Amino acid sequence: MIPAGDTVTDRTRLRFALRTFCGTALLCGALLAACSKLAPPAAKFPVYKMRGTVEAVHTDDKSASIDSEAIPGFMDAMTMEYTIRDSAALAKLKPKDKISADLIIAPDGAYIENVKIEPAK
């Protein structure tokens, strides 16, 4: 026969283990749910090929003023500021450079990547 004290101790241990397990499972579920809210990679956003001429480079806010050609199905030709997240690509640009790039339309703002300076003709 099991003494009464041991049964209570076993139940207490079981309750503690169950609460710990449930708490850990709940925490893991919350973390997984939070991670699924992260922005998807650029491949999941609309991407447009663009070409244009650099008017000015703004290293302080990682952008450049670019006089872009029309982008069929998206926008007419115009000069505007484009964010360039790649610091190395931004550092290579200078006014009057002819470029081609991918314009990514993300929920938190548009930006360009895969910037290539076209050779002078």
What are 55-100's pLDDT values in tens digits?
999 999 999 999 999 998 899 999 999 999 999 999 999 999 999 9
How many Å apart are CA 61 and CA 57, to the nearest integer?
A: 9
Q: CATH number, domain at 105?
A: 2.40.50.320
Domains: count for the chain: 2
68 with 92, same domain: the answer is yes
CA dist 112 to 14, 40, 49, 61, 109, Å?
A: 56, 16, 9, 14, 10
Helix (H, G, I), strand (E, B) or coil at 47: strand
50 with 68, same domain: the answer is yes
Helix intervals (H) in 36-120:
87-92
pLDDT in tens, 14-61: 777 777 766 676 666 666 666 655 555 556 889 999 999 999 999 999
Chain position carrying tokens 């610091």:
87
Q: Show the domain range for 84.
A: 42-117
6 with 55, same domain: the answer is no
Chain position carrying tokens 């049964």:
7
Residue 107: its H or E element? none
Q: How far is CA 81 from the centre of its chain?
A: 19
Helix (H) and strand (E) counts for the chain? 2, 5
31 with 63, same domain: the answer is no
pLDDT in tens, 98-107: 999 999 999 9
49 with 34, same domain: the answer is no
Amino acid identity of residue 104, one-letter, is I
Helix intervals (H) in 1-121:
4-35, 87-92
19 with 56, same domain: the answer is no
Chain position carrying tokens 């850990």:
24
3 with 47, same domain: the answer is no
51 with 95, same domain: the answer is yes
86 with 57, same domain: the answer is yes
Answering whether pTM is above 0.75, one says no
Report residue 1's pLDDT band, with 50, 70 and 90 as the boundaries: very low
53 with 33, same domain: the answer is no
